[in-house]
Amino acid sequence: MKESRALENIISIKSEIQYGSNDIKQMKRIKCDSLNIAIKALEEIQQYRAIGTVEECREARERQIPKKIILNSEDDMEYEDYICPNCKDILQQRRKGATRITIYKFKFCHNCGQSLDWSE
Ligand SMILES: [Zn+2]
């Protein structure tokens, strides 16, 4: 059962307790208080899930810290590749020695959003 379904059920059970006639008043209040706490906790969990897990938030924060790009320029290659340090996607490619061609230094990786440091 998904939490959203459980939440609907709990709300329904709570309303049965509230408006049914079997419980004495004191028991009704105790049960309703407990259910209110359960409902609030489930609603909070749903809100946190919408924001993302702690791990996802941590990863997003770490991507905001600039990381040095990787320059892949091996002797047998015709081109040099500028690579994202996080996802390893190729950001730019330039024919070796073509220094007149400007490398556009993106602030962020177009693929994963990593903040990029282009300093030598
Ligand atoms: Zn990337």
Domain borders along the chain are 3-51, 60-117
Residue 95: DSSP 8-state: E
Q: How far is the CA of 63 from the centre of ligand 1 (A)?
A: 9
- At 21 the pLDDT is 61
Would you state the pLDDT for residue 27? 75
Residue 68, Cβ density class (10 Å: 0-12 exposed, 13-18 middle, ≥19 buried): exposed
Q: How far is the CA of 89 from the centre of ligand 1 (A)?
A: 6
40, burial (CB in 10 Å: exposed 0-12, middle 13-18, buried 19+): exposed
Distance of CA 36 to CAs 3, 39, 40, 96, Å? 15, 5, 6, 67
Low-confidence ranges of the chain (pLDDT < 50): none
Question: What is the CA(60)–ligand 1 centre distance, in A?
Answer: 12
Distance CA 98, CA 89 (A): 21
* Ligand 1 centre distance from Cα of residue 15 (Å): 51
For ligand 1, the distance from its centroid to the CA atom of residue 47, given in whole angstroms, is 28
What per-residue confidence (pLDDT) applies to 108?
96
Gap from CA of 57 to ligand 1 centroid (Å): 17
How many angstroms does the Cα of residue 30 sit away from the middle of ligand 1? 53
**What per-residue confidence (pLDDT) applies to 28?**
77
Q: Which residues contact 113 (CB under 8 A, 6 or more apart)?
A: 60, 63
Q: In this structure, how many other beta carbons lie within 10 angstroms of the beta carbon of residue 91?
A: 23
- pTM of the predicted structure, to 2 decimals: 0.57
Tokens representing 13?
A: 């059970």
